[in-house]
Structure formats: structure tokens, C-alpha cells
Amino acid sequence: MTRYVLIVVCCLMMVGSAVGQQLPGGIRVPGGFPGSFGGQPSGPNSSTYSSPSGIDDSTKVIYGPRTTRYVLETDILNNRRRLYTTDTLLDGVDRFTYVQRSRYLFQDLGNLGTPIRPIFPSEPPQIGAQTGYYVFEPFQYQTMQVKYYDTKSPFTDMYLVLGGRNQNILRFDFAQNITPRWNAGFAVQRFTSQKQFGTRGSNDPNKLLAQNWGFLAHTNYRSKNEKYTLLLHFINMNHSLDEQGGVLPGLRIEPGAERDTVEVPYDYAGNSRLIFANGRELRNDWHLYQQFVLDQGFQVYHRLDYKRQKNYYQDDTLRVNQEPRQGFPGFYPDILTDSSRIEQDNRFRAVDNQVGIKGVFQNFNYRAYTRLRVYGQYSRYNINAARNNYGEYAPRPVIENYVGGWLGYYFPDSLSRITAEAEYLIGGGFRLQGQFESKWLTGGYTAMLADPTLLQQRFQSNIFFWNNRFRLRGVNHAYGTLNVPLGKLRLQPGLDYQLLSNYIYFNEQAVPQQASGAFSVLRVGLGYQYTAKKFQALGQAYYSLVSRSDILRLPPLFVTARFQYEFLYAKVLYVQTGVELHYKSSYFADAYMPVTQQFYLQNRQPVEGYVVADVFANLRVNRTRLFVKLSHANQGFPRAGYFVAPDFLGMRRAFAFGVDWYLFD
């Protein structure tokens, strides 16, 4: 009875109070430096640093984390027999935003649910066609991180965060075995945030900034003889955002005889550059994986994906937003046609069908496959305008054919392995990559040629128009990390090198442009962890060099540091408390253009160059984890604020509270 009361309460909270969810499956972090300290655990049920107090998660009750296990598709695909248990560690519980969970390797616009992108360049996710719309993708459940459960009892996970400054998160997960070999479950997420500037106070009916609904339904089945395995899930995301375009600096009259008017750069009560403009993204993903084991050395598998995506932007006050304000020019470039409004609608569909064979022979693991991918994109703008009918762009479906293979060797010590993978798009690009993993060293190399995104090749609206024939993009990426234990201190020095050719970027006019030739990106890193009884200090630092800083901007210095202390209070309450610091040196980060949902070069305003300090306390009673946190505790020292992106302020000081509650029966 208690379980169903809690389910009803959670549903009412989602509908009534507009709060949201923890990270739906995590964020794809840019490549390099695997397992670095100071961030998100590197595995689904592991931590990159151990708990200094040695907390014991054992329990005397029948059902718990050890009876609620799950698998990941990547392990089944690669014939790795892994079962993960539910995470009950305290490490990182206080990191509730997407930027924090990414180890600060992502940049957003300063508030929960705003467009987000990696700080450092990452490899294209596909060698074939891609939409080019990525800034809201991390907010959805991720296909390859869906957990397929085997629960001996009904399992429920309820997660709630009141993040301060009206950043709210709610998630509800449920899974239950229908039979001993058949499990089904679902997850629902809801998160919202409110504007920090550009409002008329708490009674403003338009104060809502971002809101996200996410849904995941999943099931898995295995036959009695373990020959047949089925994984199936459906993902839906509906994300909307009131676009603000940044904050206008405020003005203050200085006292004195002359009463000079001075600019207030960090004006959290200032006006926004855009009014009544909004963007939206909808995604629906169906995913099926099935395999049949004829023999340990010969198995047949099948993967099928069907994806639908819609990206939408509307501004019905185009003329107002194009007027100069407080010394700033109009927000948009020159308007090409209709100057009264813009309504942009882009839709993408793709079917990806993969069939292959795989198996295990002694210590070798192999996989070979063929893929058939069919996609199409549909675009229109201002189609419903009374005076305009600008038409639509709907090319015929395009077919892509791939062949690929994967090979892995597992060393007898069971701690080391080497893998290699190759994929070729017939008539197009390719991807070659390999990685070596051991107790002391992790290193890898990737070489690939990938298509430009569909957005980079063609876009049409009454603000922008281009029709490009860009060449394939090239990436050569090498990285390595050492693991050096020195008593109580453990170091992880690392090196990450990328050679980018035919690089495509959005220039100062927010229009795509392809650079000729190649250039280098070098990143040197050092992770550290020092443990002394119940005290722990850990962190990560990067130093970056770019040979073409005119087209790619990175912070030269990037540092995170965490100092924490653990203790047991009253024999039942485990406490982990400390402070986390983050710093990026000053650099000209890319600005954001909401019409195309792209970040583009700018030379007007440097950002960051500021240390942010968060004070936290993570707590655990039995299996319930909680946290309290004071974010940006050092606001006012050394200055009143900072910019995370051009014209977008970092979040002010805020008090956050969260709870993660597991139920196993």
C-alpha cells in the first residue's frame, strides 16, 4: 500500500509543481582521459575514487541492491558477462546539474535546461548523415545507457531536487520481473527552471525558462536455455525553452556632484536581448536488440533503430528584437524576407537496421556486421503566415550502407584488454579505432572521415540561407592516461591530441564555414587523489593548446578540485561534507544563435576567468541518500558574478536540497 501511495504522490508532484529529473542516462563526455578523477564515476556501478570511510552497504533484509541488478546492451553485444548493482555510494550525489555531472566538461547558458555543448572538441557520433541539432540531446535518456533490470522484487527509485533559484528536478523509475526471465519497467522525468533575468518579478506569467518531459519504457527477455536474448525500449523527450539571447548590462547612477552613469556588467535583474522567442525539440526513439546463440563461437544478432526528431523556433516579435537596445545592435543578422515574424520547423527521420555475427573464441571476441540506414529531412519556415508561403524543403529519402567489424582480446589477468573496431560507409567516410586498457595504462587512437551535418550543408529561413557542398571532416585522435599509485596519493597524468582536417565551424556571422587544411589540439591533463583516513582531496587539471585559435576557442587552463571528509553520526547517518572548486581561465567562448541552435565564434566578450566554490554535505540513512548544497558560495568574492557564455551569467548563490530514495519491495 505504501508503494502505491508514493507513486500517486510523485505523479501529483510532476503535474502540479513542475519539477524534474536527475540526469536521464548521463552525458557523452568528450573523448580522452578515461577514468579521470574529480568527476562522474567511470562505470555504472563504480567510482573513480574509493570511499575513505569504507562504508559497508550490506543489509540483513532479503531484498536490496544485491538482488536488484541490471545489464547494459554494450556488454551483451560484446559478450561481457557483467551484472551491475544499484549505486549507493555518496560520491558525487550533490552534483545534480548536467554541467556538474559532466565534470564541468560541458558549457551551458548558466541555467538548468539551457543549450549545452562540450568545452573540448569531440568526435562525430556518426560517420554518415547527422541532423546537426545537438544542444538539447543530453537531456534525453540515452539509448546505450538504458538499464535492463533483473529484479527479485519490485524496484522503485524516486529522485527529487529543489536546486535553488527555481531549478527543480523530479524522476521516478520502476522495474519489476514479470517472470524470472522477463522484466519490464519505465522511467519518467520532469525538470524546470525559471529565468534569472528579463522578468517582471515573481508574478511574471512568463517567468518559466526551460521545461523538460522525458519518458522511457524498457523490457528485456531471455530464454530458458539462455540462447535467445531480447532488449527493447522506447524513448520520448519534449524540451522547450524561452530564448532570451543574453542579458543587457544595467545602468547605475553614481552619487556625487557629476552623478555619472556607469554600466553594471553583472546585472541579474537586467533585461533580456530577446522577448517572446521560444525554441523546442521533440524526440522519439524506438530501439530493438536481439541475439541468438548457436554456439559460444558463433552468434547472430540484430539491432533496429527508428528515430524521429523535430526542432522548432518561433519569434513573433521579430521587428522588436531587431531594434538596437542599450548600445547593442539588433539580435539577428539582416532579415532576408518577412520582417514581422519567424517560424522555423525542421524534422528528421531515420531507420537504422544492423545485422551481424559475433562470438568468443578462447580469449578473442569478434563481431562483424552490415548496416542499412535510411533517413530523410523535412524543413519549412513561415508556412502559416498570412502574407507569406515560403514553402518547404523535403528531399527524397537517402540510403546509406555500412560494413563493420570489432575485435577484442582479453589478457589472462582479466584486468587488461585490447580492442579494435572498423566501420566503412560505402562511397563515403570511415572510422578506425583501437584502445588498450590495463591496471596501469589506458590509451587509444581513432581515425575517421565523417559527413558534414545536414544543418551545415543546407538551411533556409527568413534570417539565414545557405546551400553548401562541404568536404568530409577528418579526425585523428590519440590519447593516453597513466595510473600511478604513490602510497596515499594516486596520480593520473594524461595526454590528448587531435588533428582536425576540413574542420567546419560557425563564423562570426553565425554561418557555417569550412577551414582548409588541418590543425592540432593538444590537451595535457593531471588527475590526483589523496586519501588520509576519512579525508580525501581529488581533482583534475587540463592545459590546452590550439594551433588555430581563430576558429576554435578553448580555455587554456581548466581546473576542478574537491576536498571532502566522511564520518558516521549516531551510528546510522553517514555524512560526506566538503567543498568543490572549479575554474576556467578567461577565453572567448562561442556565442549562441537560437534560430539554428548552434554556437558560433565571437570576439566581443571574454567569459569565465572566475573560481566557483560549492559547499556540500551528502548524507545516507540506510539506502536513502540526501544532499544539501550551497552553490556559488563565494559570490561577491572576488566579484559580483561571471559569464559562462557571451551575455549569459552564471547562476547566483543558491541553496539546493535533494533526495534519492530506493524501495526494493
* Site of grid cell 547517518: 573
- The pLDDT score that the predictor gives to residue 44 is 36
Span 537-562, mean pLDDT?
98
pLDDT classification of 33: cutoffs 50, 70, 90: low
Q: Of the ranges 32-46, 234-248, 360-374, 617-631, which one carries the lowest mean pLDDT score? A: 32-46
CA distance 422 to 425: 10
The b/e string for 502-515 (b: 16+ C-beta within 10 A; e otherwise) is: bbbbbeeebbbbbb
Question: Rounded CA gap, 271 and 486, in Å?
Answer: 53
Asked whether the beta carbons of 139 and 563 are under 8 A apart, the reply is no
Average pLDDT, the chain: 89
Record the cell numbers describing residue 263, joined without a space: 554600466
As a whole number, mean pLDDT of residues 87-115 equals 95
CA geometry: angle at 651 spanning 648 and 657, to 5°?
Answer: 150
CB 540 within 8 A of CB 39: yes
What integer pLDDT is reported at residue 269 of this predicted model?
85
Q: Which residues contact 574 (CB under 8 A, 6 or more apart)?
A: 53, 55, 90, 566, 568, 619, 620, 621
Can you tell me whether residue 116 is helix, strand or coil? coil
Looking at residue 164, what DSSP letter applies? S
Residue of higher predicted confidence among 308 and 622: 308
C-alpha cell at 36: 579521470
Q: Which three cell numbers stand for residue 82?
A: 557483467
The DSSP 8-state label assigned to residue 268 in this structure reads: T
Residues of the chain with pLDDT > 70, as a percent, come to 87
Q: Could you tell me the pLDDT band of residue 235, with boundaries at 50, 70 and 90?
A: very high
- Of 252-256, 315-319, 588-592, the range with the lowest mean pLDDT is 252-256
For the chain, what percent of residues have pLDDT higher than 90? 76
Whether the predicted pLDDT of 575 surpasses 70? yes
**Residue 402, beta-bridge partner list:** 371, 425
The shares of helix, strand and coil residues in the chain, as percent rounded to the nearest 5, are 5, 50, 45
Give residue 281's Cα distance to chain centre. 15
Rounded distance between C-alpha atoms, residue 355 and residue 304, angstroms? 9
List b or e across 246-285, with b for residues whose CB sees 16 or more CB atoms inside 10 angstroms: bbbbbeeeeeeeeeeeeeebbbbebbbbbbebbbebbbbb
467, three cell numbers: 546551400
To which H or E segment does residue 9 belong?
helix 2-16
Helix (H) or strand (E) holding 2: helix 2-16
Please write the tens of the pLDDT for every residue from 287-298.
999 999 998 899
Cross-strand pairs, 541: 526, 559
Please state which of the four CATH numbers 3.90.550.10, 3.40.50.150, 1.10.1040.50, 2.40.170.20 is assigned to the domain occupying 68-664.
2.40.170.20
pLDDT at position 276? 93
Beta strands in 143-276 (DSSP E): 148-151, 155-162, 168-179, 182-194, 208-222, 228-243, 250-253, 261-264
Sign, Cα dihedral of 575, 578, 584, 586: positive
**Cα separation of the two ends of the chain:** 11
- Report d(CA 76, CA 150) in Å as an integer: 14
3-state secondary structure 52-108: CCCCCCCCCCCCCHHHEEEECHHHHHCCCCCCEECCCCCCCCCCCCHHHHCCCCEEC
* pLDDT at position 395 over 90: no
Name, in order, each residue with C-beta under 8 angstroms of 446's C-beta and a sequence gap of 6 or more: 31, 123, 431, 432, 433, 475, 476, 477, 478
The domain locations on the chain are 68-664
Of 135, 107, 115, which is closest to residue 558 (Cα–Cα)? 107
Q: CB–CB of 198/247 below 8 Å? A: yes
User: Facing residues of 403 across strands?
Assistant: 370, 424
Q: What is the Cα Rg of the chain in Å?
A: 25
Residue 163 contacts residue 654 (beta carbons within 8 Å): yes
Alpha helices in 400-469 (DSSP H): 454-457
CA 145 from chain center: how many Å? 12
Sole residue written with cell 527521420: 349
Contact partners, residue 200, CB within 8 Å, separation at least 6: none
All three cell numbers of 329: 545592435
pLDDT at 471: 97
Cβ neighbours of residue 337 closer than 8 Å, sequence gap 6 or more? 382, 388, 390, 462
- Find where cell 596501469 sits: 440
Phi–psi pair at 475, nearest 5 degrees: -135, 125
Q: Regarding predicted confidence, which is higher, 34 or 100?
A: 100
Q: In the beta sheet, which residues pair with residue 496?
A: 479, 523
**What is the C-alpha separation between 664 and 2, in angstroms, rounded?**
12
Residue at 110: amino acid letter: G
- Per-residue pLDDT of 440-477, as tens digits, reads 999 999 999 999 999 999 999 999 999 999 999 999 99
- The closest of 98, 103, 96, 95 to 30, measured between CA atoms, is 103
The Cα 190–Cα 197 span in angstroms is: 23
pLDDT, one tens digit per residue, over 51-77 is 344 444 444 568 888 889 999 999 999
81 pLDDT band, cuts 50/70/90, is: confident
pLDDT at 386 over 60: no
Lowest mean pLDDT among 143-157, 159-173, 177-191, 251-265: 251-265
| pLDDT computed for residue 414 by the predictor | 73
Residue among 118, 127, 134, 107 at smallest CA distance from 30: 118
